A and B are shown apart, each in its own frame.
Chain A
Amino acid sequence: MVENRASMVRTVRTETRRQEWLSPEQRERIIDFYVERFGAPREIFSGRSMYLSSRQRVYLVADMLAKCSIEVVTGINVARVAAAVKPTTDFLQLHSAAIAKNVLELTTEQARKYIAGEELDESELALDRYTNGYLCLKYAGQALGCAHLKNGILSNMLAKDRRRKLEHL
C-alpha cells in the first residue's frame, strides 16, 4: 500500500533542487543525539525518513515519501548538521512531551525574553545542573526552542524568523 502511494506521486517534477536522503548511519547520528541529549524515545522517529536540504537542514517526513522520486518534499525541520547536530525549534515543539532531559523551565518573563530573541540572565538560572551543550527551554510544560550552554554562558538559539514580541503567555 505504501509503495502504491509512493508510485502515484512518482512523476511530479519541480525545478528546485533535489533533496538528498540520509543514509541509515547519518539518520542514526541525529536520532542518537535526541535520545542521548534530550531523553527522547527512539519510537518518535519510527516510520520517518530524513533528507538533507539547503544550509545543512535535515527534514523529517513520513517514510513513504522517501520512496518517491519527488524532487522536493517538506516535513519537519528536525536538525541542522555540521560538526555537531543542532536541534530545531519545530521538532522540539512538536515532541515537547517526549523531551525529558536537559530541560530548562522558564518563568513567564524569561519565556517572553527568550521568544523575543534576547539573552537570558544566567545568574537567575541554575545552570550548574547541566553539562555543556544544547538545552530545551520549556514554559508551562511546552517546549519553546533551544539554547546552547558553554562554560556557564547560555546563548539563545531561536531562529531570527521565529522571534516574536508576545503579548500573551
Chain B
Amino acid sequence: MAKHSTDHRPRSTARTKGWITEIPPAFKEYYGPLVDDEAAFYSALVKPLPKSLRVNTLKAEREYVKTRYTGYGIPLVECPWYADALIPQDATVDPSPALEHFLGQVYVQELTSMLPPLALREEIVSANLVLDACAAPGSKATQVAALMNDHGTLIANDADYNRIRALKHNLSKAGAQNVILTNVDLAEFPTEQQFDVILLDAPCSSDGTIRKMNKLLPNWTAKRPLKYASLQRHLIKKAFALLKPDGVMLYSTCSFSPEENEVTVSHLLNNSEAEIEPIEIPNLHLSPGITEWNGELDPRVARTSRIWGHHNNTGGFFLAKIRKTDGGE
C-alpha cells in the first residue's frame, strides 16, 4: 500500500479581502422584526460559511473518510444533527482537493443543503418512486440516491438543460444507478405521473446563502424575493398535484423571505388538501414558521421550519413538510 503523503499543508480558504461586513439598512428593516436576536443574526451573516462535506454512503463509510482526512492533517468532526455530514475542525479548510473527493466518496455540500433529504429520510428509504423536481447540480439528488441505496427509482429533473450535464456527471460519479434524468419544465410534467416523495428545492432569491456569496449582501433589495414568489407558487402547486394520495413533499428554499416561504406555503394550504407535518431533527435548532406577514397567514405554517444562521452556524434555510391527505388534489 502506498504511503499517504502529508507534504501538502491544508489550504485555508478564509476570505477577508473585499468581504462585506455592512448590513444594508433595508435588509435590517425587512428581517429585523423576524429574528429573535438581531445582533447575533447580523454577526453570523457576515462570517464566512464553514466548509462541510457529506459521506457518499454508496461508495465509502464515514469512519474510513474520517481516518483518511485525519491523515491529511484535516481532522473532521461529525455534524451534531447528521452523522454523515463532516466538518473540518478548522472550518476554513477546503476539503475538496483530496483523493476522496476525486473518487466520489465524499460530496462537498453545505450543511443546510443536506436538510431536505434528511427531513424525509424515513419516507425516502421506503419509497418506490421519488422526484427531485429541481435537481441540478445534484447535491440533494445524490444524497437521496444514497439514502435509497439502489432501491426504488429516483427521477432527477431540472428545467435548465445547461445544468443537466453537471447533474448527470455528479450522479455517475456518485455511483447512483437507480436514477432517471429528465429535463422538463415542471409545469409540463404529466400529472398522471404520481410520486410517493417529492423534493422541491425551489429557485429562490438565495439570501440565505449570503455567508457563502457575500456579494449578494450589498445588492439585496426587498423586491428581489417578489420576483421568485410567483414562480414558487406555481411550482409548489404543480409539485403537490404530482403527489400520490398520502404522499409527502418537502418544499425548501435558501431564502429568509416570508414571501418565498410561509406565504407560498400558506397559499397552497388555502387552496388544496395539504397538511403540514412538523420536522424534527435531533440537535438541530429549528424555528417555527412565522404566521403573520402583511396580514394573517394560515396558522398551520407555524409547523414549517426556519433555520437561522446564528442558531446552528449555517446558512439560512426554510423547510415545509407537506402531506397530501387522502383525496387531496
26 A-B pairs with CB atoms under 8 Å apart are: A5-B152, A9-B129, A11-B190, A14-B183, A14-B184, A15-B161, A15-B184, A16-B164, A65-B178, A72-B183, A73-B181, A74-B180, A75-B176, A77-B172, A93-B103, A93-B104, A94-B175, A108-B5, A115-B99, A115-B102, A140-B2, A142-B99, A164-B97, A166-B102, A168-B72, A169-B5
What residues on B are CB-neighbors of A169 within 8 Å?
A: 4-5, 98-99
What residues on A are CB-neighbors of B69 within 8 Å?
A: 168
Chain B residues numbered 185-213 whose CB sits less than 8 Å from any CB in chain A: 189-190, 192-194
Contact A62–B190 (Cβ < 8 Å): no
- In the complex, A90→B175 CA distance in Å? 7
Q: Is B169 in contact with chain A by the CB < 8 A criterion?
A: yes
> Which residues of A are at the interface with B, using a C-beta cutoff of 8 A?
5, 8-9, 11-16, 48, 59-62, 64-65, 68, 70-77, 90, 93-94, 105-109, 111-112, 115, 139-142, 144, 161-162, 164-169
- In the complex, A70→B182 CA distance in Å? 8
- In the complex, A94→B69 CA distance in Å? 20
Closest to A96 in B: B103
Contact B177–A5 (Cβ < 8 Å): no
The dominant DSSP class at the A interface is mixed
CB A128 to nearest CB in B, in angstroms, measures 21
Contact A72–B2 (Cβ < 8 Å): no
**Known pairs A62-B177, A74-B181; A140 contacts B1 (CB<8 A):** yes
- Interface size of B by CB at 8 A reads 49
Q: Which of B2, B74, B153, B161 contacts A65 (CB 8 A)?
A: B153
Q: Is B3 in contact with chain A by the CB < 8 A criterion?
A: yes
Contact A12–B181 (Cβ < 8 Å): no
The dominant DSSP class at the B interface is loop
What residues on A are CB-neighbors of B171 within 8 Å?
A: 74-75
Q: Is B11 in contact with chain A by the CB < 8 A criterion?
A: yes
What residues on A are CB-neighbors of B72 within 8 Å?
A: 168
What residues on A are CB-neighbors of B180 within 8 Å?
A: 9, 12, 65, 68, 70, 72-74
Closest to A93 in B: B103
A75, A107, A108 — most chain B CB neighbours (10 Å): A75
Q: Is B90 in contact with chain A by the CB < 8 A criterion?
A: no
| B141-164 to A contact mask, C-beta < 8 Å, 1/0 | 000000000101101100001001
- In the complex, A11→B190 CA distance in Å? 7
Interface pairs A-B: 4 shortest CB-CB: A169-B99, A168-B72, A168-B98, A167-B8
Q: Which of A5, A11, A13, A16 contacts B153 (CB 8 A)?
A: A5
| B53-75 to A contact mask, C-beta < 8 Å, 1/0 | 00000010000000001001010
Contact B161–A16 (Cβ < 8 Å): yes
Contact A75–B99 (Cβ < 8 Å): no
A74, A106, A164 — most chain B CB neighbours (10 Å): A74
Chain B residues numbered 1-47 whose CB sits less than 8 Å from any CB in chain A: 1-6, 8, 10-11
What residues on A are CB-neighbors of B238 within 8 Å?
A: none
Contact B99–A166 (Cβ < 8 Å): yes
Contact A9–B8 (Cβ < 8 Å): no
What residues on B are CB-neighbors of A72 within 8 Å?
A: 180-183
Contact B161–A74 (Cβ < 8 Å): no
Closest to A162 in B: B102
Q: Which of B98, B175, B181 contacts A166 (CB 8 A)?
A: B98
- In the complex, A115→B2 CA distance in Å? 15
Q: Is B322 in contact with chain A by the CB < 8 A criterion?
A: no
Q: Is B320 in contact with chain A by the CB < 8 A criterion?
A: no
Q: Is B179 in contact with chain A by the CB < 8 A criterion?
A: yes
Q: Is B285 in contact with chain A by the CB < 8 A criterion?
A: no
Closest to B178 in A: A62
- In the complex, A68→B153 CA distance in Å? 11
What residues on B are CB-neighbors of A15 within 8 Å?
A: 161, 183-184
Contact A62–B5 (Cβ < 8 Å): no
Q: Is B168 in contact with chain A by the CB < 8 A criterion?
A: yes
What residues on B are CB-neighbors of A94 within 8 Å?
A: 59, 175
What residues on A are CB-neighbors of B182 within 8 Å?
A: 12-14, 70-72
